[in-house]
């Protein structure tokens, strides 16, 4: 049974501008060490991870200021290369009892898109 669906689109230039303007302060506040190692400063990769975090919160029915830190939502890759979420802290607690979390990422025309489905 589907418990929640979240969809988000992020303009890549918005993340690139935040990175230029705020630098490490922005990056360290939003992304985990692992995400930064994989994404580096590539705008498209950072934007897709940001979109995934927001899509996850939407699937939970929560906003970005819900008390769950964006760093508690980590985008990682499976051995197949497919993206998935690794949750920590309050994000993990919020999904207790869920049977699955599905993540899809895409990029097109200067935007990154993410869809999250929570299965219960």
Active-site pick, 3, 11, 71, 107 = 107
58: annotated active-site residue = yes
The sign of the torsion formed by the CA atoms of 30, 50, 23, 36 equals positive
N residues, the chain? 120
Active-site pick, 58, 88, 92, 102 = 58
CB-based contacts of 47, cutoff 8 Å, min separation 6: 10, 11, 12, 14, 15, 107, 111, 112
71: annotated active-site residue = no
Tokens, residue 36: 């930064």
Active-site residue list:
58, 107
């Amino acid at each position: 049974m589907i418990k929640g669906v979240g969809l988000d689109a992020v303009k890549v230039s918005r993340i690139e501008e935040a990175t230029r303007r705020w630098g490490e302060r922005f990056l360290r506040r939003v992304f985990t060490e692992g995400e930064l190692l994989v994404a580096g400063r590539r705008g498209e990769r950072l934007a897709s991870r940001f979109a995934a975090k927001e899509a996850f919160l939407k699937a939970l029915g929560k906003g970005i200021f819900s008390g769950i830190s964006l760093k508690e939502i980590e985008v990682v890759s499976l051995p197949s290369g497919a993206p998935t979420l690794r949750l920590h802290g309050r994000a993990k607690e919020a999904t207790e009892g869920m049977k699955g979390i599905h993540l899809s990422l895409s990029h097109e025309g200067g935007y990154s898109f993410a869809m999250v489905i929570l299965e219960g």
